[in-house]
């Protein structure tokens, strides 16, 4: 009995953390790691993959035709020293075709949103503190927060 599995079923089985990240770390980090990546493209984290490099995004979720990472790998252009095996190519192909699950969405300023700690720092609004006579107190910013807490 022969069982045929659709590529959609296979795609759902590809997990970024278990399948894709180890592949990229093992095969791509030499040239596209976090330190001085070629073409300003680091494949070391989901945020960096989503951001892309100097020529723009390299993974277009669900779109193999316009994903330059897939196009370069499919043509055996990357990695140059030893192209990926058919099984490794299938992992990348199925992951991108499934919508690249595990990649963060890009914000409007083209910075991937992954974790609150990587968000830009914005100064808080200073609370207004009043003296006993009802006039605004002339306090340093830190003292304003302390006064409100008291």
pTM: 0.64
Per-residue pLDDT tens over the stretch 13-72: 789 999 999 999 999 888 998 888 899 999 988 889 988 888 889 999 999 999 999 999
Per-residue pLDDT tens over the stretch 100-149: 998 887 655 555 445 667 677 888 899 988 888 888 888 899 999 998 88
**Which residues are paired to 112 by β-bridges?**
106
- Provide the pLDDT for residue 29: 87
């Amino acid at each position: 009995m022969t069982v045929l599995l659709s590529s959609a079923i296979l795609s759902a089985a590809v997990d970024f953390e278990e399948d894709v990240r180890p592949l990229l770390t093992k095969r791509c980090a030499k040239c596209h790691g976090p330190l001085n990546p070629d073409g300003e493209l680091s494949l070391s984290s989901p945020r960096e993959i989503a951001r892309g490099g100097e020529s723009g995004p390299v993974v277009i979720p669900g779109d193999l035709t316009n994903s330059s990472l897939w196009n370069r790998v499919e043509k055996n252009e990357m990695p140059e020293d030893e192209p990926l095996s058919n099984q490794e190519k299938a992992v990348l192909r199925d992951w991108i075709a499934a919508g690249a699950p595990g990649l963060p969405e890009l914000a409007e300023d083209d910075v991937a949103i992954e974790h609150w700690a990587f968000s830009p720092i914005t100064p808080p609004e200073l609370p207004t503190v009043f003296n006993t006579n009802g006039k605004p107190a002339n306090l340093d910013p830190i003292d304003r927060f302390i006064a409100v807490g008291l």
